[in-house]
Structure 1
Amino acid sequence: MSKTLKQTAPRKKNWLSPEFVRAMLAGHSALGLAFAALIYIVCLSGTIAVFVMEFQRWEQPEAPLVWEAPSAGVLQRAATSAFDSAKQEAEHPDLSIAWDGSRTPHFTVRVRDHDSGLEREWLADGSGALVEEIDAPWSEFLAHLHINLHIPQSYGLFIVGLTGVALLSSLISGVLSHPRIFRDAFAFRFGGSLRLQDADLHNRLGVWGLPFHIAVSLTGALLGLSVLIIGVLAMAAYEGDSEKAFAEILGPRAGENMEAAPLPDLTALMQRVRDDHPEAAFRSVHVEHAGTAGQMTHLSMGVPGHLSVATPYYFDGSGTLIGDGGLETGSIGQQILGALQSVHFGWFAGMPVKIAYGLLGLALTIVTHTGVTIWLHRKREKGNPAPFWERVWSAVAWSQPLALAIAALVALSGATGFILASYLAATVASLGIGILSEDGRTGGRLLRLLGGLTLLAVAVMHMAKFGVGGGADPMGAIVDAFLLGSGLVLSLSGVRPLARRRVLAAGNNAPARRAMGDR
């Protein structure tokens, strides 16, 4: 009797040793758990903040829209109007004007004065007239939540920067702790073990969006730790002179000569830049100590084909070009600096890239969420469940849609001074609901239902305030439709599992009811 010998292909040896993989996995888990809540909030707020300019339009849908690039004469008229208004309250105000049609049709004019505390911002029309002051408190709240978590600027930026470092480290250690992560890029196990299902979702979204995840975490870390980086640069290259280091990066500051002088001639300055770069388009201008002999003008002009929004060109009080920031054609370091913000927020190629960033940012948020749920599932499978932390994490995850929606309701109601307080109160209340709930799933479902209903209420309040069409700006109707759709999905995701649970409970009690009927 002959036996057929089966030849099996030798298993490929992993390129990383088991000991190294275990160490990376332990580090990945520890780092992710330590920063989980911060990473989750920063990722979710950043995903929404990609569209912060659209939300600004939604909050002011009756504001003027400027679709064509303002001429130098229009810019000059807006500058003069803002300067004349500021001079009534401040002696030496700073003046800023911005328009970038690739990002938003809002034409903004700002004046600030550190000595008097003056700070005013207007939206101008196509003629340069200042039509109305900027009033988008929820968008501003959202931006600060992502940038510095509403903690004092220097500390908040540092914490967010460290969060970016932790996220980047988690991504790298996650790849190194899963040698088969790329080979299993399309493997997904539906049903069965919740841990395996969440692990597949975690790994697949992590791999598919890995270039994006690394880009946003790296740029976020660099932006958040910029003050620390400049401090190190000052010590290393400028013998501790931080002012010189800041000047090298941020450009020269205004001089001490406060004698009255005309505002910069923007027509002449823009023409001077276009003599060397004919295709350069206006993006913004900032005049420090405007209307003085020592004023310093930073005129930002953008050239197509660069990730940087624009390069600033520096003009002194006499209108002489004294240099530029080199963000488009300077050194590699300067070009990286110029591209950081655009790459981080996806503000470099119009709405299609913004939508892609929104979807990829949502994927990164899910990766963060499932990273914790995998750990919790693993503890339960090992017979050492952590029901308290299951309830807490579910509350952390689903508190944010509810809290952000409540903050939007408060902003629409006009109580702008209570936006942050309402957000914090909603977050704390959500944690209480989660902790007191029967389990993590029950608390999460209730918070999803509340969050969905609140999003629906936000859309309804906006339509009641500006009309069913959302106002003159079509973005109002678009955002309202998005809020209605998101609210409906969240509400149904909370209602359907609860309804299914009641049906199952009724089915389980049917034999007892029949027995009672027989009696």
Structure 2
Amino acid sequence: MAASRRTLVILYALHSWAGIVTGLLLFIVCFSGSVVVFKNEIDLWANPSLRALPHVAQPVGPDLVLNNLAEYYPGSKVESLWYPDGINPAWTAFIKRADNPERMKIAVRADTGEVVGPVDSELGQFFRMIHVFLFFGPRWIVGFLGVAMFFLIVSGFVIHRKILKELFTARWRKSLRVTGSDLHKSLGVWGLVFHLMIAFTGAWLGLAPVFERSYSYVSGGGGARPAAMMMRNNALDRPMQMASVGALLKQAQHDMPGLQPNRIALRDVGKPNASVTFFGQVDDLWFSNARITYQGGRFKEKNDPRQNGFWSQFNGLMEPLHFGDYGGIVLKWLYFLIGLSPALLSLSGTLLWIERRKLRQRNRAGVVGAQHV
């Protein structure tokens, strides 16, 4: 019993200090994460020019979009194209102009291919940058916060093992500290499964790429230069007409049957080694981590989760589970409302720690005062 009591005391101390150290960052990440569920809706709301565009069942092809962008912005480089979807009615292009090193987000009509112009606001993307990168750091920082959140949830549940018996009890007539403590524990238990899922998927998304790169480097893959880097020579710098993206799309859907692209990444357009990658979903799966790449007009590589086994499919589940973009608007509202609770937990936990610290200081002061009487 003594050992168990000592373990709980240590766990409580670790829980408290982990919460204090990460509390502010967890609040920022969790609050922005609940908002970013509506990223696309926010971007649309913040851009009246997009809201006025019609939704079409069959948008124009990528070749027309690229040709119109080349005419509208001569000398620019298109880095990626995003397909219209159920929320955003327009093609979205990210380009770099020759006279402006900063990347621009351009909207193109889905019904005619006409260039609308720069997107006025990226408020939704702003919240995503805060949530995924804390707006300044690498993603592994947020991954470590996911680990901290997971530890806080598990340790809090272990510390307050009796909370399940008192789940519907809040001592409203007690002090503010006691009432706040009851609400803090209840809030953590009510959203326990959801919180664990968000913490685990967030940690996985932030840290899995780091472990993969580390493993590749240790196993010898990190020392080899990619073939594309070794191929560079003067011939690659001579302009050349890139193969039709539309033709490559048809080839991609042949090489990966059931591919439903939602994004196209472009690199070195106009050169013999021009790279085109199609991202999207495939039939029979509801998550979207399929990918196929062509370089110089020839097949280079692909990621078909239907063929790559369990871990590829497991990895593909992480992002939709974390961001809640696999369902409709009702699911997004659930993610938003329940997603606010970790932010409230980090805030309430910090306030409770400060209140307990003040109480201990008052008690010590009282003891010292009594000793001098």
Shift of 1:101: 1.8
If the length of structure 1 is used for normalisation, what is the TM-score? 0.61
Paired amino acid for 1:111: I
What CA deviation, in whole Å up to 9, does each residue of 1:90-146 have, x standing for no partner?
5xx343111252453342012247998352321111222211211214434333222
Corresponding residue number in structure 2 for 1:143: 128
1:82–1:111 Cα contact (<8 Å) kept: no
Residues of 2 paired with 1:209 and 1:117: CA distance? 45
Deviations 1:189-242 (A, max 9, x none): 333222232222222221222222122222223333456334412323335338
Query: Does the 8 Å CA contact 2:292/2:303 hold for their aligned counterparts?
Result: yes
Q: Does 1:77 align with 2:64?
A: yes
Q: CA deviation at 1:284?
A: 1.1
Q: Superposition pairs for residues 113-512 of structure 1, below 5 Å?
A: 117=101, 119-126=103-110, 127-151=112-136, 153-154=137-138, 157-225=139-207, 228-241=210-223, 256=232, 257-275=236-254, 279-304=258-283, 306-318=285-297, 320-327=298-305, 329-382=307-360, 384=362
Alpha carbons 1:255, 1:295 under 8 Å: kept: no
Q: Does 1:29 align with 2:13?
A: no
**CA distance 1:184–1:305, shift in 2 (3 Å):** farther
Measure, in 2, the Cα distance between the counterparts of 1:169 and 1:267: 48
Opposite residue 304 of structure 2, the aligned amino acid is G
- Classify 1:307/1:196 alpha carbon distance in 2 versus 1 (closer, same or farther; 3 Å): farther
Candidates 56, 64, 71, aligned match of 1:68: 56
Q: Which amino acid aligns with 1:56?
A: D
Which SS does the other structure have where 1:240 is aligned? coil
Distance change (3 Å), C-alpha of 1:310 and 1:206 = same
Unmatched tracts of structure 1, length 5 or more:
1-12, 387-519
Task: State the percentage of identical aligned residues.
Answer: 23
Distance in 2, Cα, partners of 1:124 & 1:44 = 32
Cα distance 1:124–1:330, how it changes in 2: closer, same or farther (>3 A)?
A: same
Q: Deviations over 1:144-165 (max 9, x none)?
A: 22222332x43xx343333222
Match for 1:40 among 27, 34, 56? 27
Q: What letter corresponds to residue 67 of structure 1 in structure 2?
A: H
- Aligned AA (1:42): V
Residue-pair matches, total: 358
| 1:186–1:35 CA distance, 2 compared to 1 (3 A) | same
* Secondary structure at the counterpart of residue 111 of structure 1: strand
Provide the rounded CA distance (Å) in 2 between the counterparts of 1:78 and 1:344: 32
Q: 1:284 to 1:138 in 2, by over 3 A?
A: closer
- Structure 2 segments unaligned to the other structure (5+ residues): 365-373
CA distance in 2, matches of 1:242, 1:343: 34
Give secondary structure in 2 for the equivalent of 1:290: coil
SS in 1 for 2:55: coil
1:104 maps onto 2:88 in alignment: yes
Of structures 1 and 2, the one scoring higher in RCO (CA 8 A, sep 6+) is 2
2:188/2:345 contact within 8 Å kept: yes
Over 3 Å counting, the alpha-carbon distance change for 1:303 and 1:167 in structure 2 is same
TM-score, normalised with respect to structure 2? 0.83
Deviation at 1:46, TM superposition (A): 1.6
Separation in 2, partners of 1:65, 1:259: 39
Q: CA deviation at 1:259?
A: 3.7
User: Looking at CA atoms only, which structure, 1 or 2, has the larger radius of gyration?
Assistant: 1
For 2:353 and 2:71, the matched residues in 1 are separated by 61
For residue 105 of structure 1, give the secondary structure of its aligned residue in structure 2: coil
Question: Counterparts of 2:231 and 2:291 in 1: how far apart (Å)?
Answer: 18
Partner of 1:479: none
Higher strand share goes to which structure?
Answer: 2
> Equivalent residue for 1:54?
41
Retained in 2: the 8 A contact 1:25–1:173?
A: yes
